[in-house]
Structure formats: C-alpha cells, structure tokens
Structure 1
Amino acid sequence: MKNRRVGILGGTFNPIHIGHLIMANEAYHALGLDEVRFMPSAKSPHKEMYNPPADQDRINMISLAIKEIDYFKLELIEFDRSEISYTYDTIIQLKKREPDTEFYFIIGGDMIDFLPKWHRVEELVKEIRFIGFMRPGYTGETGFPVTFISAPMIDLSSSFIRTRLQSSSNVTFLIPQQVNEYITKEGLYES
C-alpha cells in the first residue's frame, strides 16, 4: 500500500481568501495529493493578530470556504496545544499520528522569504517537503529546498481584505461568498 500524500496549508486565515484556495487546489493537482488540509494556527509565531476574530470564527470561515471540495479538509492539531504553533512541532506530532503519510507544506512567497527565521527550519526540511508559490513583491529566494509550483499569481492578503471590510468596501470575488455572508452576519472586521 502506498503512503498517503497530504498537503498542509497553514496560516492564520484571518480571513481565508481565494489566494489560499487557489494555492491549495494547484498543489493538490500538480503533486497528485490525496488531500490538502487547511491548518489554522492557534498562536502564530510569525504574525501578531490585531483584534482577531474568535478562533471558532476562523474555523467556521475555513469550513464554509472548503465544504464543497471533497479533497479539502480542516486540520485542527494546533488548537490541541496551548503554546506557540511552531511548524516543526506540529509536523513531528502529525508524523507520529500518521506514520504512513507523506506531508507537503504549502507556502507562499512571503513565507519563503521568511524561512531562515523559522523555528528549527534546518530540522524541519528533513521532515517534510516545502511546496512554494511565488507572490508579487517577494523574491522567493531561499537556501532551503523548496519545490516551486507554477500557478496564477494573485497579489492578495488577508490584511488587504480586512482593510476593505473595515471600510465597508466590496470584497466580492476576493473571498468565497459563504465566508463574506458569515463575516457580515457575525459583524467581523467592522471598524
């Protein structure tokens, strides 16, 4: 029996947007993965969240965004720990839980540039394969092994979407419609 091949897309998803979904979908098809898991960080070491929505709201938004795609799953392993969500610790935990799974960690250009600052990155690269997507405004240059996948480059960030939402501007086509409806209903990101 062959090992399962699973992509992991981690992040704050504050909120999830079409850039996340495109990266996950392109990685799924390009690498022939069995599934891609969206893994929200409980306490990100890289991003300080300003006035974040409740963890449950981020989880709900991801669930709404991926519910129609059967090969997209939600991975909540980082919420089981109370400490900062370091990718190295998470991957070690995932590999213990699923020893027959080969994990691919999907990252955008901003995180590729930031790799030298990742916690225990020299050890992490021995445990997983990094799958990189270029992003406008970032070099994508690193001394660490990253397999690049060609995909449409979209200059979109959650912070851009939050700014739009706080000024009551339109975010149609930038986030899934169900997520937009949820944000409106729950009054998230209002200024």
Structure 2
Amino acid sequence: MSVKAKQIGIMGGTFDPIHCGHLLAAEQAREQARLDEVWFMPARIPPHKERAGITAQEHRLRMVELAVADHPSFRVTDVELLREGPSYTYDTMCQLIDTYPDCQFSFIIGGDMVEMLPKWYRISDLIQMVRFIGLARPGSNFDPSAVSSSVTFVEMPTWELSSTLVRERAAAGRSLRYLVPAAVESYIREQGLYESIG
C-alpha cells in the first residue's frame, strides 16, 4: 500500500516583519486546500523587492519562528536564507522536492501575484512541479479562471494590513497589538527594529 504524500504549503516572503495577515492567509490556505502543514520561508533576496535596507535575515527568521511557535501545523524553513544569490521559487522548489521526496508541495501566493505568474522564472517548469494556491480577496478585480488554470483559489477575508504599516507604526512608537503576535511585538521592541525609519 502506497503512503499518501504529506501535503505541504510553502508561504514565502520577506516577512519584514511577519504580521497577523500572513498568519491568517496561511491558516485559510491550510484549511481550505487541505494542507497537512504550512512552511513559512523567509526570502534572502526577493527578486521583486527593491526596498533598500531590508532587516537582517536573522531578525526576520526569528520573528517568523516566534509567530508560528504556537501552531502545531506551522513550520519555518531557512532554505532560501542559506542559499547564495536571489531567491527564485524554481530553484527553491527543486531543492525542497529533492530533500523531501515524500512531500507534495504547494506554493501560496497573494491574489495580486497571480497575474504576474507568467513572468516568473521558469514558470512552465514550476507549474509541473507544484500546485499554486492563490488567496482570493473579496472584490478581486480579475477572473481567476482567466488568469491561470494552474492555480487553486481559496477565499481570504479582506484585511488591509501590511509589513509597511507595521514598520511605520513601530517607528512612531505606536501599538502593534493585534497586528503582529505578542511575541513578535516584544522582539521588535527589544531589538529596536524599525526605529530609524523615516
């Protein structure tokens, strides 16, 4: 009898910092797409990010570890942080599939990223390797079926929360309660992260 492959969702991002919107998105994907686990994967050098001064990777990794510590199905992988050069999803997934042959991987992306999929590095190969899970927010202005037939969509509640907002509030000394997990807020304050913004 063949063993059923473990269903793993990969959620990549800069996570500078990780916030409750990321966690909500991961939980929606886990539940609706019937994933066994969601692995959070901080990016080393995201190809599509041009913001200068991205927080040191050890801080971003630690904040993700703190954020997911109380969820039995959430994990953290530092696979992209350990590899040199830009973080291309194709290269990462080749490495993960080779390392974990008993797992079936899905890659979780925001609805706004779905339209950019045709421009991703080696996308034709990538869609043969992994399933894409798109987070469809209410009122999305595109037709999912017209964008990509290789994307499984899950419903995502509308929540206008971003890492930029968290950084700005941290820099202003404002409360981050309910925007990030309590352990992440404590870490940001203890390490003095984002104080020099602006």
Query: Does the CA-based 8 Å contact 1:104-1:131 persist in structure 2?
Result: yes
| 2:160 pairs with 1:155 | yes
Give the equivalent residue in structure 2 for 1:74. 76
Q: 2:179 aligns with which of 174, 182, 185?
A: 174
> What is the alpha-carbon distance in structure 2 between the residues aligned to residue 144 and residue 12 of structure 1?
27
Given the two structures, how large is their TM-score scaled by the length of structure 1? Answer: 0.93
Give, in angstroms, the shift of residue 136 of structure 1. Answer: 7.1
Task: Among all aligned residue pairs of Structure 1 and Structure 2, give the percentage whose two residues are the same amino acid.
Answer: 44
> What is the alpha-carbon distance in structure 1 between the residues aligned to residue 52 and residue 160 of structure 2?
21
| Change in 2 beyond 3 A, CA 1:168/1:135 | farther
SS of the residue 1:79 aligns to:
coil
Deviations 1:52-98 (A, max 9, x none): 22111001100100001111000111122111110011011111111
Is there any run of 5+ residues in structure 1 with no aligned partner, and where? Answer: none
* 2:163 alignment partner AA: S
| Change in 2 beyond 3 A, CA 1:15/1:137 | farther
Given the two structures, how large is their TM-score scaled by the length of structure 2? Answer: 0.90
Q: Is 89-98 or 48-57 further displaced after alignment?
A: 48-57
Give the equivalent residue in structure 2 for 1:52. 54
Give the equivalent residue in structure 2 for 1:40. 42
Query: Does the CA-based 8 Å contact 1:27-1:33 persist in structure 2?
Result: yes
Query: Does the CA-based 8 Å contact 1:3-1:100 persist in structure 2?
Result: yes
| Change in 2 beyond 3 A, CA 1:167/1:87 | same
Q: 2:28 aligns with which of 20, 26, 29?
A: 26
Runs of at least 4 residues of structure 1 off by over 6 A? none
Give, in angstroms, the shift of residue 117 of structure 1. Answer: 2.3
> What is the alpha-carbon distance in structure 1 between the residues aligned to residue 140 and residue 162 of structure 2?
13
Deviations 1:83-136 (A, max 9, x none): 111001101111111122110101112322322321111221111111011247
The root-mean-square deviation of aligned C-alpha atoms, in Å, is 1.7
Is there any run of 5+ residues in structure 2 with no aligned partner, and where? Answer: none
Bigger Rg, which one: 2
Give, in angstroms, the shift of residue 156 of structure 1. Answer: 1.4
